[in-house]
């Protein structure tokens, strides 16, 4: 059993749900060396999230953002407001969607479905760049 771990820095993005699959995989040269295994993706932030979703139609990304904003409105009377009106809703969305993914590795590639890709959901208007720790384990 072999292990590899890498911290990836994602470029800053505007608020919304963004397909980042190629940006992530492009920073994982070790992935190609695994024949079979698992990759864990852990986002080191509390106001953004990771998800696997539709990778073909960009309207899905827009609709996902619209739906999350409907479920978690900024107009709610939050107590935690020191960092702006988008901060507490960002924490709630992050808690609902989650900050980690486990994806199987098969023959040096992430074994996702045909129409699946990794998203970063940026819940802040100005969240900055984000960091993801990727831990891979398996047989090489």
Residue 68 pLDDT: 98
Q: Whole-prediction pTM value? A: 0.96
Taken in order of first residue, the domains within the chain and their CATH numbers are 2-139 (2.60.120.460)
- In whole angstroms, give the CA distance from residue 131 to residue 9: 5
Give residue-wise pLDDT tens across range 65-93: 999 999 999 999 999 998 999 999 999 99
Opening angle at CA 54, ends 50 and 57, nearest 5: 125
Count how many Cα atoms sit within 13 Å of the Cα of residue 62 in the half-sphere of its side chain: 4
Find, among 24, 63, 59, 51, the residue nearest to 120 by Cα.
51
- In whole angstroms, give the CA distance from residue 28 to residue 33: 10
């Amino acid at each position: 059993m072999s292990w590899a771990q890498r911290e990836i820095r994602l470029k800053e993005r505007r608020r919304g749900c963004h397909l980042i699959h190629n940006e992530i995989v492009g920073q994982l040269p070790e992935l190609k060396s695994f024949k079979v295994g698992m990759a864990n993706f852990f986002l080191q932030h509390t106001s953004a999230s990771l998800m696997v979703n539709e990778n073909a139609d960009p309207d899905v990304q827009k609709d996902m953002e619209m739906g999350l904003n409907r479920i978690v409105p900024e107009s709610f009377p939050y107590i935690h407001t020191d960092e702006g009106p988008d901060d507490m809703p960002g924490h709630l969305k992050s808690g609902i969607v989650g900050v980690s993914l486990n994806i199987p590795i098969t023959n040096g590639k992430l074994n996702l479905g045909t129409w699946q890709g990794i998203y970063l959901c940026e819940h802040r208007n100005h969240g900055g760049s984000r960091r993801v720790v990727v831990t891979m384990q398996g047989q090489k």
